[in-house]
Amino acid sequence: MRFVVPFVLAFAAAVATSAASDDPALVAIAGPQNPATLSAFGFFDGGAARPSSRLIPYELRTPLFSDYAAKQRFIYVPEGTQIGADADGKLIFPIGSALIKSFGYPAKSGGLNVIETRVLLHQAQGWVALPYVWRADGKDADLRVGGTRVPVTFAHVGNDLSVNYSVPNKNQCKQCHSAAGNIMPIGPVWQNMAFPRPADARAIVKAAPALARLQPYPKWDDSRTGSLDQRARQYLKVNCGHCHAPQGSASNSGLFLDGTAKGTAALGIGKRPVAAGRASGDLDFIIAPGQPDQSILIKRMGSSDPGIAMPELGRSTVHAEGVELLRQWIAAMPSNTH
């Protein structure tokens, strides 16, 4: 079931006959070639700190962990179109839309040193994911379909932490954003979103009124928003659920962390891994109730070894606070859960 608002179905044809469009994003998104520079879209006015007024900023209540990077998220929709949603709160974007996400670390002088900006472009034939790396002068970003690595040192809880930050290649973007072989957005779910500008939220609800009935998801790090069980499941859903889903790239594992699990085994509780090996550390269960140190989930999420670490992509260090949440969750499970 969908409660989707009308949008311009003739978008692609209109762009093809309107090279003189006064909105460069329309031409850049629908064009046959991926733009070599981020500035071609007109999403920023000369730097990542100056987003276009056409963009809709948003935040996530529980975000994906990416080596402690700070993120700035935006939505672009063509003029004259609106955002819809399905019955589960997943936002539906008209053709010609873009999702824009910048990654960076706090600068000593204040503000954010942005390393990269990833874009998801909704073209007529489907979604396309592209990574752009910002130049040293911060004035523009260049397309890097092959990805790259950037050494970064930043302050975290009073100490300096160094990471080898990874900009994904185009295929890695597809791996995480793939559902049944198609690239799809994974972050914009209404219950997990917050909008700094209340007018933006009101406009979306006006277009899709049923969204007003959906309750916000808990924040993984705020006990006031949900129980330990709810917050741990939400953390796993955001960080692991895009692959561990019935149509995700890890569907053959039988481990479903996207909220669709039917029964405790599909959630990993008392479940043996489909393949044993170094990554399992000779442990028996994905989650051993009451025993976090005997749980493969904790071993893999607490490791930075590329042959063991989960998630496989998007991090080179351990999210200590997230792992601690999961340890508490497993420790609180009665040992007879499975």
Supply 105's token pair.
């670390």
pLDDT tens per residue, range 259-286:
888 889 989 999 998 876 777 878 999 9
- Per-residue pLDDT band for 215 (boundaries 50, 70, 90) equals very high
- Per-residue pLDDT band for 253 (boundaries 50, 70, 90) equals confident
Supply 297's token pair.
């989930």
Bridge-based pairing state of the strands 141-143 and 84-86: unpaired
Average pLDDT over residues 239-249: 87
Q: Helices 320-331 and 228-240: crossing angle, nearest 10°?
A: 130
pLDDT tens per residue, range 82-131:
999 999 999 999 999 999 999 999 988 788 999 999 999 999 999 999 99
Residues in Cβ contact with 308 at an 8 Å cutoff, skipping those fewer than 6 apart = 278, 279, 281, 299, 300
Single out the residue of 281, 297, 284 nearest to residue 331, CA to CA: 297
237 CA to centre of own chain: 11
Residues in Cβ contact with 181 at an 8 Å cutoff, skipping those fewer than 6 apart = none
Comparing 109 with 333, which gets the higher pLDDT?
Answer: 333
Distance from C-alpha of 17 to C-alpha of 13, rounded to nearest angstrom: 6
Supply 242's token pair.
């895009």
Q: Tell me, what's the pLDDT at 211?
A: 96
pLDDT tens per residue, range 5-21:
333 333 343 443 343 35
pLDDT tens per residue, range 159-181:
888 988 999 887 766 666 656 66
188: exposed, middle or buried (Cβ count in 10 Å: 0-12, 13-18, 19+) = buried
